Structure 1
Amino acid sequence: MALRHFFLILLVVSIWAFNNIAIKWGLLDLPPLMLTTLRFVVVALILVPFTRVNLHQLRYLAVLAFTFGFMHFSLMFISLNNTDAGTAAVIVQLGTPIAMLLAMVILKEKLRLVQLLGIAISLSGVVVLSGSPTIPNWWVLVLMLLSAFGWAISNMIVKKSPPISPLTMTGWLSFLAIPIVGCASWLTESDQITLLVNASWRGWFAILFSAIGSSIVAYSLWYSLLKHYNVNLIMPYSLLTPVLAVIMGVLVLGDSMNGFKVTGSLLVILGTAIAVINLRNLRMHAKLARFRYAGRSKGH
């Protein structure tokens, strides 16, 4: 892997990790559903005017607006309003093993024994995390798991949907999610306009960073890297996101650490790594890289 691409990967996962910090700042000024709605408004304003979709694509995007826009993002923002950034990032990471289980059941994709073991380890980490004081109520844990499930089921929908470019999907999904999340905010939250007018830099920074930095810039870089490298080589780096989110939460927000949080986080990340990383493919890529390096050395 070229050194510049490695640093780009680190930039992307750092942006995703810091997004949790930015959202926590924003939640000091704005209620979670309103913050989510404004995020979608900014993304849609930037992307929709420059992209087009047909009616067939629109049907899938309408479903994704609920599963990804409402279930994943809205419930994640609500969860972040009730727990710390690191805990939320770790549990939402369970979307990956949940997606693998759904693919096994719905798409009849086969999972190896080692992958099932990894998923079991991840789920055991949630059991440990449930005892952490950073999760004040059982319903907060349920919301985070539903957010992860929303991400997982969205992956199933994307696999079945007609081809849609990533930025087009992001823009139109955001546009279609605005009335769903906006109505939920109107029904359950109050004084939205007053809070927005009186919001400090933290609220506006959260909106813009989550929309532009995390959604548009980071995902654009990520998909460009996927064009250069095999998925099995790139995807494991995404596991750095919850690790960095935990570290940033402690350093930037002063989040606490306890035995439940440390042990549970390690189990979730380790289990997800075991389930996701294809060691056979990684060894093959490593051998290929050494072969290419040896060839260039002989050429010199």
Structure 2
Amino acid sequence: MALRHFFLVIMVVSLWAFNNVAVKWGLQELPPLFLTLMRFVVVAIILVPFCRISRSQLRFLLPLAFTFGFMHFSLLFVGMSFTDAGTGAIVVQLGTPIAMLLAMAILKERLSPIQLLGIAISLSGVVVLTGSPTIPAWWVLLILLCSACGWAISNLIVKTSPPIKPLTLTAWISFLAIPIVGSASWIMESHQLYALSHAGWHGWFGILYSAICSSILAYSVWYWLLRKYNVNLIMPYSLLTPVLSVIMGVLVLGDSMNSFKIFGALLVIAGTAIAVINLRNLRMHARFPRLRLRRHK
């Protein structure tokens, strides 16, 4: 990988990690569901005018608006209003092994014994995290796990859907999720417009950073890198996101550290790495770097 592209990868995972800090700032001034709604509104305003879809794509985008827009993002923001940035990022990382288990059960994809071991290790990390004081109640952990399941189910829907350009996917999921998340905010929250009109820079930074930097900028660069390099070379870097989220949460927000959080995070991240990283392909790329570079020119 070219050095400039390596720095782009680090930039992307850092943008995603800092998004958890930005969301925590936004939650200081805005209700979680309403903050999610405003994120989707900004993304839709920027992207939808430039992204077209077909009727066949729409039938897959509608369920994604619920599983990804509401289940993943809305429940993530709700869960993070009760816990710290790092803990939220760690638990939601379980979306990857959960997606692999669902693919095995529903799509009949095969998993090797090593992958199953990695999934078991990552799930054991959640058991450890239950002892952390950063998770104040069992239902907070359940909300975050439902968010991870929303991400996992969304991956299965995308796998079975016709090809949709990544930014088009982002644009229309945001647009179609607006009435779903808006209705939930209207039913479960109050004084949203008052909170928005009185929001300071924390609230607006949370909205704009989450929409523009995390959703549009970071994903645009990430998908561009995936077109240039093999997935097995790029995807392992995404595991840095929860690690950086924990570090940024401690440094920027003053989040606490404890043994449960540290050990649980290590189990989740290490187990996910074992489950998703194709070591054979990585060794091949390390032995034949010139061949790989020529293939992607």
TM-score by length of structure 1 reads: 0.97
Distance in 1 of aligned mates of 2:36 and 2:162: 27
Counterpart of 2:36 in structure 1 is 36
Distance in 2 of aligned mates of 1:96 and 1:23: 22
Which blocks of at least 5 consecutive residues in structure 2 are unaligned?
none
For 2:11, the aligned partner's letter is: L
- How many residues align structurally? 294
Q: What's the CA shift string for 1:227-261, capped at 9, x where partnerless?
A: 01110110000000000000000000000000100
Counterpart of 1:143 in structure 2 is 143
Distance 1:227-1:290 versus aligned 2 partners, 3 A rule? closer
Q: What's the CA shift string for 1:1-23, capped at 9, x where partnerless?
A: 00011000000000000000000
Distance in 1 of aligned mates of 2:173 and 2:84: 27
Secondary structure class of the residue paired with 2:180: helix
For 1:227, the aligned partner's letter is: R
Secondary structure class of the residue paired with 1:238: helix
Tell me whether 1:175 sits opposite 2:156 in the alignment: no
Q: CA RMSD in A?
A: 1.2
Per-residue deviation, 1:292: 8.1
Counterpart of 1:54 in structure 2 is 54
Q: What is the correspondence of 1:149-188 to structure 2 with a 5 Å cutoff?
A: 149-188=149-188
TM-score by length of structure 2 reads: 0.97
Distance 1:228-1:290 versus aligned 2 partners, 3 A rule? closer
Misfit runs of 4+, over 2 Å: 290-293
Per-residue deviation, 1:178: 0.2
Per-residue deviation, 1:291: 7.2
Percent sequence identity over matched residues? 74
Q: Is the 8 A contact 2:128 2:260 kept in 1?
A: yes
Distance in 1 of aligned mates of 2:204 and 2:55: 34
Per-residue deviation, 1:56: 1.2
Counterpart of 1:296 in structure 2 is none
Q: What is the correspondence of 1:16-31 to structure 2 with a 5 Å cutoff?
A: 16-31=16-31
Per-residue deviation, 1:54: 1.3
Q: Is the 8 A contact 2:21 2:249 kept in 1?
A: yes
Q: Is the 8 A contact 2:126 2:268 kept in 1?
A: yes
Counterpart of 2:83 in structure 1 is 83
Q: Is the 8 A contact 2:285 2:292 kept in 1?
A: no
Distance in 2 of aligned mates of 1:151 and 1:166: 15
For 1:55, the aligned partner's letter is: R
Q: What is the correspondence of 1:1-300 to structure 2 with a 5 Å cutoff?
A: 1-289=1-289
Distance in 2 of aligned mates of 1:192 and 1:110: 46
